Structure 1
Amino acid sequence: MSRGPGAGSSEPWDARVSGCPARFDEGLGYWVVDGPAVVREVLLQPETFRPDNAVLAHKPLSVKALRVLSAVGFALPPTLANNAGPSHRRIRAAVARFFSPARVAAIEPLARELTTARVTAAAATLATGAEVDLVQAIAAEPPALVLLHLLGLEDVDVPALKAWSLDSLELFWGTPDEDRQLELAHSAAEFYAWLRTRTTAARQAPTTDLFSVLVELGLTDEEVCAVGYFLLIAGQETTTQLISTAFHRALGTTITPADLVEEVLRTSSSVPTWRRTTATPTTLGPTTLPAQAPLLLTLTNQGGPADLAFGLGIHRCLGATLARLETRVALECTQQLLIRVRLTEPPPTIDLLSFRAPRRLRVITASSSASS
């Protein structure tokens, strides 16, 4: 691989051989930053390594897709993950109250109840000799229902939220062709229109839910919708994906749930990478980076701590403790079922720039004679 732009040399190089902490990947169009120490350095310097590109579309959107989004006033101004400005602290503080340690600890019985009910139903289906998809049957809905409860949101179509979430992740972190982009843009526009409806309702009759708190904070409609857009995705879909990965890893193992959660976070988190951009020309070790250099930070499977999967500093994931709790609970509730089943096919994967997990985990009881 050759050096990318701004590296200051025309000599061929390979970061893995030279020890350079950043290498330009021409296929991705990013400077890939490996190594926990260097990633930590980047995350703890938001003024130098800005989050401006954190939620931009990895593949530029087509004119047709942009028109669909524009028709509903779709906008993602800086609020949380993409905000390094002065408004970040107060928005984050307002949202963080929904994820306080006390509130998260108190939600465990609900998470356990929701998961246990689904495990019981899945076990009954498996007992008939039928196949079960562990992702849809167990991992999909509890994180969404728990999040909605924490945020005080009622009357939400959970299957629609799950579909909107997966479509938006693909739109912003995938590489869909123009036809697929258009399809995904319609889904994102539908989601955004729903967010606008909830924002309007909060202005007219405020309660104590997420939208009302954001309105009371003085945010514009676009800012409220931007917070809601990615919080309602990241707060539950990435946890579903983490649980799905943990289920896959748990098959055929005897590792305790709490230990398995940490192992998955270290090696194969559902959010294995994240983006930053340089504010000015800067250096990472011997590597010179130009201003506006797009960075792709490797968070997992680099020998770093499990906690790095949630980021560090002012943009650390607000739901880190919740995600750990929900994944542990899911494993504890499903542990006895997981030792009795086997996969019927190699799991297809969600494989996006910053999101990775089994798309489905189809299993049957291990003693079943059904073909694998």
Structure 2
Amino acid sequence: MVRVTGCPARYDAELGYWVVEDPAEVRAVLLDPATFRPDNAVLAHTPLSVKALRVLSGVGFALPPTLANNGGESHRAIRAAVARFFSPARVAAAEPLTRRLLTERVAATSARLAHPEAAEAVDLVQVVAAEPPALVLLHLLGLSDVPLTSLKAWSLDSLELFWGWPDADRQLELSHSAAEFYSWLRTRTVAARETAGDDLFSVLVGLGLSDEEVCAVGYFLLIAGQETTTQLISTAFHRVLQGEPASVEDVLAEASSVPTWRRTVAEAAPVGEAELPAGAQVLLGLSGHGGPADLAFGVGIHRCLGAGLARLETRVALECAADLLGAVRLVEEPPMINLLSFRAPKRLLVSRA
């Protein structure tokens, strides 16, 4: 997580961003999308190499403005179409599935650790937190034939490619993964044009979006809609194991899996006593700076569509895993996913206490 204290806005030369972390100023920026535009929300933080760009262009990879990066007129219609999949009623109806998926994995993990010959540590990220958010998301979106293992790998690779600091060799590796994901999205988009349904891709095609726009929505949503929740659950588990406050609200306020987000300044504008120039890149602190838990999901027209779902899944995960977490101990300080806008334990190796 990026933590820069002091003025409401200050320039961080190493990062290349104006960092805004005062919760009131962050809220004000997010509520002024005309001045503080989302154009840079999904751009690669580390400029992509020529070789990486060639790999992506080979599959027609493009992320035109759709949701998180859309400050134009089309945003409202796209958001409304996607929001229907995450209505309060649909999210509430997904709780039994969420609870079943987590209960099954917790029970299997508890049995594994309780076996008299159990010697190896288990990774709570992989055995409990990884799959349920993805399975619930796919259920809500009406998608039944997504390669789950591939989706999880694609998601982590794309987060690193666009929000990390990969060198040229690592970028090339990650770009092949992103290209594979994008090719799958194109295949699903073509299929939706041929056979209409009520799943995400069919709804987006019915909205009149281009193939590139449909793929862009799918690319962002299938990553953000599940991997960030896996990371939020993992962070909550870590806090419990460390003996720290770990309610959903505590985690969101103090250590959200999405601690920062980006904006770009359309025209010179003040933030506190600082005057940010036109074209300035802004990094907003969403979590860990004394603001309310809800700020972790943003505010305004780009507020996270899955906020209610993420809260529900993390709450259920903590409830289902309470006894398990009380019976195990960490065997190492976990390595972290530590990207510009994403932070969580990579793994949580535990053994019987």
The two structures have a TM-score, normalised by structure 2, of 0.97
Pick the aligned partner of 1:74 from 57, 61, 65: 61
The reply to whether residue 151 of structure 1 matches residue 141 of structure 2 is: yes
Whether the 8 Å contact between 2:232 and 2:314 is mirrored in structure 1 is yes
Aligned to 2:211: 221
Q: What percent of counterpart residues are identical? A: 74
Is contact 1:252-1:339 (8 Å) kept?
Answer: no
In structure 2, the residue corresponding to 1:342 is in which secondary structure? strand
Hey, what does 2:320 align to over in structure 1?
333
**8 Å CA contact retained: 1:125, 1:131:** no
Alignment-derived partner of residue 357 in structure 1: 344
SS of 1:191 mapped into structure 2: helix
1:30 corresponds to 2:17: yes
SS in 2 for 1:250: helix
The 3 A distance-change label for structure 1 pair 89 and 63 is same
- Is 2:161–2:175's contact at 8 Å kept on the other side of the alignment? yes
Aligned pair in 2 of structure 1 residues 254, 333: CA closer, same or farther (>3 Å)? Answer: farther
CA deviations 1:53-105 (Å, max 9, x no partner) are 00000000000000000000000000000001000000000000000000000
Unaligned runs of 5+ in 2: none
- Matching residue of 1:162: 152
- Report the equivalent of 1:370: none
Q: TM-score, normalised by structure 1?
A: 0.92
CA RMSD of aligned residues (A): 1.1
1:252, CA displacement in angstroms?
5.4
Identify the match of residue 166 of structure 2 among 170, 176, 184: 176
CA distance in 2, matches of 1:322, 1:89: 21
Q: Aligned equivalents of 2:309 and 2:248: distance in 1?
A: 12
What CA deviation, in whole Å up to 9, does each residue of 1:4-52 have, x standing for no partner?
Answer: xxxxxxxxxxx845xx311111110000001100000000000000000
Letter in 2 for 1:154: S
Say which SS state the counterpart of residue 206 (structure 1) adopts.
Answer: coil
Q: Aligned in 2, Cα 1:106/1:278: closer, same or farther, shift over 3 Å? A: same
Poorly superposed stretches of 4+, deviation over 6 Å: none
Secondary structure, aligned partner of 2:144: coil
Does the alignment pair 1:87 with 2:74? yes
Match of 2:198 in 1: 208
Distance in 2 separating the partners of 1:103 and 1:65? 39
Q: In the TM superposition, what are the counterparts of 1:258-337 in structure 2 within 5 Å?
A: 260-337=247-324
Cα deviation, 1:198-242, whole Å, max 9, x if unaligned, reads: 000000001100000000000000000000001000000000000
- Using the alignment, how far apart are the partners of 1:364 and 1:89 within structure 2? 48
Task: Kindly state the Cα deviation for residue 253 of structure 1 after the two structures are TM-superposed.
Answer: 3.9
TM superposition shift of 1:254: 8.6
Q: For residues 30 and 254 of structure 1, what CA distance do their matches in structure 2 show?
A: 31
Equivalent position SS for 1:193: helix
**Residues 5 and 21, structure 2, Cα contact 8 Å, conserved in 1:** no
The structure showing larger relative contact order (alpha-carbon pairs under 8 Å, at least 6 residues apart) is 2
